[in-house]
Chain A
Amino acid sequence: MGKNPFIIEVNHVSKRFEDGKYALNDVSLQVKKGEFVTILGPSGCGKTTLLRCIAGFQVASSGDILLKGEDVTKTPPYERPVNTVFQKYALFPHLNVFNNVAFGLKLKKIAPDVIKKKVRRALKMANMTGYEERKVDTLSGGQQQRVAIARAIVNEPEVLLLDEPLSALDLKMRHDMQIELKELHEKLGITFIYVTHDQEEALTLSDRVVVMNEGKIKQIGTPTDIYNEPQNCFVADFIGESNILSGRMIRDRKVQFLGLEFDCIDEGFGEDVPVDVVIRPEDIYLWKVESQKSKVESDKGPDAASQADLDEEDRVPKGKFTKWYGTVQSCIFKGVHYEMRVLTPDGYEFLIQDYHEFLPGTEVGMLVKPEDIQIVKKEHYIYNYFDGEITKNGKVRFIDAEWEVMPQQIEGFEPGEKVQVRVPFRSIDLQDYEEEGTLSGEVHFILYKGNHYHLTIRTDEGHDIYVNTNDVWDDGDRVGIVIPAKEILISKADN
């Protein structure tokens, strides 16, 4: 057996709070010595909880955490060989810079001259030489951050934990500090675990990114993996901007969406399987076409007219690419590039970034290279499935509510019988006023699928209902949930 390559091992860690909600739900993660790992996710996804479990400020409800192969799940923070840089610095206001940095060393009863030397070196590393005697509240945010970093690294920890350390700094300062942190990581050669909600920060700094949502790890990978090969819609949507469309995997390397067939490079999804298709806005090529009419017939292969258009635009790749067409709806200058919204005749909207400007109203052709089409497994498809029960008064009870159904639908079922209920995503009506619904809930997650929105509605009892709609809702909107009686499909329970 070789030496254990992992400095941190998080094995099936869950953290449940008193109200029964999970902050962490079966999280596993291994970190190699010297790695720079970023835990990325929206607020409330559990990333800080995970960091605090590693630091020892919180104890996992189940699972274990190993540091250098040693179980530290219940070890108090002061006995762990890790140090933390806190979000709001947490510098001691009653001590000056020197004594803040020396705090950990003094506890270890190290000789004063050694402490002095080490503190000097740590302050130098953090570019804070000469500030030893300053009171911490006279320092700027960036300087306080540097002192916090010096205070952590002076103890020569094996792992440095950073909890959104740059979130309180302004943009310019944040960029400078990102570079400094990266350099510091290289100089020290120790393991960094970095928590942030800023995807750009995560992609810039890390060797590996751990994307979290709702207490679960959604994907672990290098920044390029995470960006180019998102494994699910959440990652695709959270990291960068993307066009996400419903599609169908015809067979390996062949995918259908927009009613067209595209070559792609993904394999192993099976044949005729519903999938989601992710295309980054910068991966779609745009060119001007003269008239929409002649291109209604979009097909594969070079038809004469579009070939002529392509010839004018050398930057668009030539070859047998599937092309489709649309009209530019809006165009915004974003500094380096322009950002266009393009609408196809069948109502799909694309977000496209290009160095060239295409004014609103321009008719354009679009294509994407096979390697830029990212196929993602669909997490749920067409139907919501619920466990239900026929009630005595001829209704069906599921997701903690009783729903009206038509008598013929429950013919042959006994009251009290367990049934399986299916409700198509499309058939659920959302009402502006919660009182108008049988159930009320909150818009929890929104995914734009090119021509419709795919919403996750979380009911007040904590159930998730998926809804496809053309209406625009915002995150956190309160809604009333209505399911028309005829849309509730009832079948015998499996067991």
Chain B
Amino acid sequence: MSKVIQIFSSRRTWAWPYVLFMLLFVVLPLILVGYYALTDINGQFTLRNFAKFFTHSEAIQTFLYSVMIAVFNTVICLLVGYPAAYVMAQEDFKTPKVMAMLFILPMWINFLLRTVATVELFNMLGLPLGEGALLFGLCYDYLPFMIYPIYNTLQKMDYSLVEAAQDLGANRWQSFWKVIVPLSMPGVYSGVVMVFMPTVSTFAIAELLTHNNIKLFGSLIQDYITTTDLLNYGAVLSLVLLIIIGLTSFFGDNDSEGEKGGMV
């Protein structure tokens, strides 16, 4: 009996379900992706799938286009989100909670439903669907992920640093660029990573908001994976995307302050 208690009181025991979960749903799928990428349809080892990607101009172009869309989206989110976060973090701003609430409210609803609603909104207003609608939808979906990390770092920032800058002769503009912006960079990194990574691999939003006219890399992967004889090639594309995303997140984590940003 005491042995059972001992087992259950050990912290290590409690970790097992999670380890099992991660093995099954994170590690195993990764191995499978790697396996399919390196084999042909008959299960024979091959590198032909990789070779195909580098000569497959449509895939490369879609990939570059997706990255471009993601970059645009990230920049727009940053330009819209930073001032919002800055205003919310001001000491004399009376209702940061209400503002935060308004920004977070759409996130209570599944993003697919939201996107469908956006499509309806565009139709109602008579606006054309397409690239513009796509960027709008992406920005609408991912803005909170940009605002929160920035808001968090700005809010935690010691205001006496701004006073110190002013004391040393910096006017408002200078103290903003020389103190506030550099100190909010951890939040900006987190925001950028959290917006950029999911945008590159997005596909549902693109399909809905462009009537399937614009294909993003995510859509491409989906197409290949659902086509049985091209599954292996789809695995290669997934792997490429994974590596790229891995590199971006590495770029974010590279800065040791990166963790300080964080989500709410």
B112, CB-defined interface residue at 8 Å:
no
| A90 interface neighbour in B158, B170, B171, B185, Cβ under 8 Å | B158
In chain B, residues 159-207, which have Cβ atoms closer than 8 Å to a Cβ of chain A? 160-161, 163-171, 174, 178-179, 182-183, 185
In chain B, residues 126-176, which have Cβ atoms closer than 8 Å to a Cβ of chain A? 158, 160-161, 163-171, 174
* Nearest Cβ on chain A to B160's Cβ, whole angstroms: 4
- Please give, as numbers and ranges, the residues of chain A lying within 8 Å of B163 by CB-CB distance: 57, 77, 84, 86, 90
- Please give, as numbers and ranges, the residues of chain B lying within 8 Å of A84 by CB-CB distance: 163-164, 167
**Interface code A130-162, partner B: CB below 8 Å = 1, 0 otherwise?**
000000000000000000000110010000000
- Please judge, given known A-B contacts A88-B160, A90-B158, A90-B161, whether A55 and B170 are in contact too, CB under 8 Å: no
In chain A, residues 41-91, which have Cβ atoms closer than 8 Å to a Cβ of chain B? 55-57, 76-78, 82-84, 86-88, 90-91
Q: Contact size class for A?
A: 20 to 34
Inter-subunit contact A77/B174 (CB<8 Å): no
Inter-subunit contact A88/B158 (CB<8 Å): yes
- Please judge, given known A-B contacts A92-B179, A93-B183, A103-B165, whether A78 and B160 are in contact too, CB under 8 Å: no
Closest to B164 in A: A90
The CA-CA distance from A220 to B170 in the complex, in Å, is: 34
A187, CB-defined interface residue at 8 Å:
no
- Please judge, given known A-B contacts A92-B179, A107-B174, whether A155 and B168 are in contact too, CB under 8 Å: yes
Inter-subunit contact B161/A76 (CB<8 Å): no
Inter-subunit contact A78/B171 (CB<8 Å): yes
Inter-subunit contact A86/B164 (CB<8 Å): yes
- Please give, as numbers and ranges, the residues of chain B lying within 8 Å of A56 by CB-CB distance: 166
A108, CB-defined interface residue at 8 Å:
yes
Closest to A94 in B: B182
A370, CB-defined interface residue at 8 Å:
no
Inter-subunit contact A107/B158 (CB<8 Å): no
- Please give, as numbers and ranges, the residues of chain A lying within 8 Å of B178 by CB-CB distance: 103, 107
A424, CB-defined interface residue at 8 Å:
no
- Please give, as numbers and ranges, the residues of chain B lying within 8 Å of A108 by CB-CB distance: 169
Inter-subunit contact B170/A107 (CB<8 Å): yes
A104, CB-defined interface residue at 8 Å:
yes
Give the A-B pair count, Cβ closer than 8 A. Answer: 61
Inter-subunit contact A78/B164 (CB<8 Å): no
* Nearest Cβ on chain A to B73's Cβ, whole angstroms: 27
The CA-CA distance from A258 to B216 in the complex, in Å, is: 96
Inter-subunit contact A92/B164 (CB<8 Å): yes
- Please give, as numbers and ranges, the residues of chain B lying within 8 Å of A94 by CB-CB distance: 182-183, 185
In chain A, residues 210-266, which have Cβ atoms closer than 8 Å to a Cβ of chain B? none
- Please give, as numbers and ranges, the residues of chain B lying within 8 Å of A87 by CB-CB distance: 160
* Nearest Cβ on chain A to B82's Cβ, whole angstroms: 17
- Please judge, given known A-B contacts A90-B160, A90-B161, A92-B161, whether A77 and B183 are in contact too, CB under 8 Å: no
Closest to B175 in A: A78
* Nearest Cβ on chain B to A58's Cβ, whole angstroms: 10
- Please judge, given known A-B contacts A94-B182, A94-B183, whether A78 and B166 are in contact too, CB under 8 Å: yes
- Please give, as numbers and ranges, the residues of chain B lying within 8 Å of A93 by CB-CB distance: 161, 183
- Please give, as numbers and ranges, the residues of chain B lying within 8 Å of A152 by CB-CB distance: 167-168
- Please give, as numbers and ranges, the residues of chain A lying within 8 Å of B167 by CB-CB distance: 55, 57, 77-78, 82-84, 152
The CA-CA distance from A104 to B165 in the complex, in Å, is: 8
The CA-CA distance from A91 to B182 in the complex, in Å, is: 14
- Please judge, given known A-B contacts A92-B179, A93-B183, A94-B182, whether A86 and B160 are in contact too, CB under 8 Å: yes
The CA-CA distance from A474 to B78 in the complex, in Å, is: 54
- Please give, as numbers and ranges, the residues of chain A lying within 8 Å of B183 by CB-CB distance: 92-94
- Please judge, given known A-B contacts A92-B179, A94-B182, whether A155 and B160 are in contact too, CB under 8 Å: no
- Please judge, given known A-B contacts A57-B163, A107-B174, whether A155 and B169 are in contact too, CB under 8 Å: yes
Inter-subunit contact B168/A104 (CB<8 Å): yes
Closest to A84 in B: B167
The CA-CA distance from A214 to B4 in the complex, in Å, is: 65
In chain A, residues 13-55, which have Cβ atoms closer than 8 Å to a Cβ of chain B? 55
- Please give, as numbers and ranges, the residues of chain A lying within 8 Å of B171 by CB-CB distance: 76, 78
The CA-CA distance from A77 to B162 in the complex, in Å, is: 11
- Please give, as numbers and ranges, the residues of chain B lying within 8 Å of A86 by CB-CB distance: 160, 163-164
- Please give, as numbers and ranges, the residues of chain A lying within 8 Å of B174 by CB-CB distance: 107
Inter-subunit contact A77/B166 (CB<8 Å): yes
Q: Which of B164, B167, B179 has the most CB atoms of chain A within a 10 A radius of its CB?
A: B167
Q: Which of B168, B171, B183 has the most CB atoms of chain A within a 10 A radius of its CB?
A: B168
- Please give, as numbers and ranges, the residues of chain B lying within 8 Å of A107 by CB-CB distance: 168-170, 174, 178
Inter-subunit contact A104/B169 (CB<8 Å): yes
- Please give, as numbers and ranges, the residues of chain A lying within 8 Å of B166 by CB-CB distance: 56-57, 76-78
- Please give, as numbers and ranges, the residues of chain B lying within 8 Å of A82 by CB-CB distance: 167
The CA-CA distance from A349 to B94 in the complex, in Å, is: 53
- Please give, as numbers and ranges, the residues of chain A lying within 8 Å of B164 by CB-CB distance: 84, 86, 90-92
* Nearest Cβ on chain A to B180's Cβ, whole angstroms: 11
Closest to A82 in B: B167
- Please give, as numbers and ranges, the residues of chain B lying within 8 Å of A76 by CB-CB distance: 166, 171
* Nearest Cβ on chain B to A191's Cβ, whole angstroms: 16
- Please give, as numbers and ranges, the residues of chain B lying within 8 Å of A57 by CB-CB distance: 163, 166-167
* Nearest Cβ on chain B to A319's Cβ, whole angstroms: 57
The CA-CA distance from A155 to B174 in the complex, in Å, is: 17
- Please give, as numbers and ranges, the residues of chain A lying within 8 Å of B168 by CB-CB distance: 78, 83, 103-104, 107, 151-152, 155
Across chains A and B, which 7 residue pairs bring their CB atoms closest together, nearest first? A104-B168, A90-B164, A90-B160, A77-B166, A94-B182, A84-B167, A107-B169
Besides A86-B160, A90-B163, 16 other A-B contacts (C-beta < 8 A): A76-B166, A76-B171, A78-B167, A82-B167, A83-B168, A84-B163, A84-B167, A88-B160, A91-B164, A92-B164, A94-B182, A94-B183, A103-B170, A103-B178, A151-B168, A152-B168
B residues apposed to A, CB below 8 Å: 158, 160-161, 163-171, 174, 178-179, 182-183, 185
Q: List 17 A-B contacts (CB under 8 A).
A: A55-B167, A78-B166, A78-B168, A78-B171, A84-B163, A90-B161, A90-B163, A90-B164, A91-B164, A92-B165, A92-B179, A94-B183, A94-B185, A103-B165, A104-B169, A107-B170, A155-B169
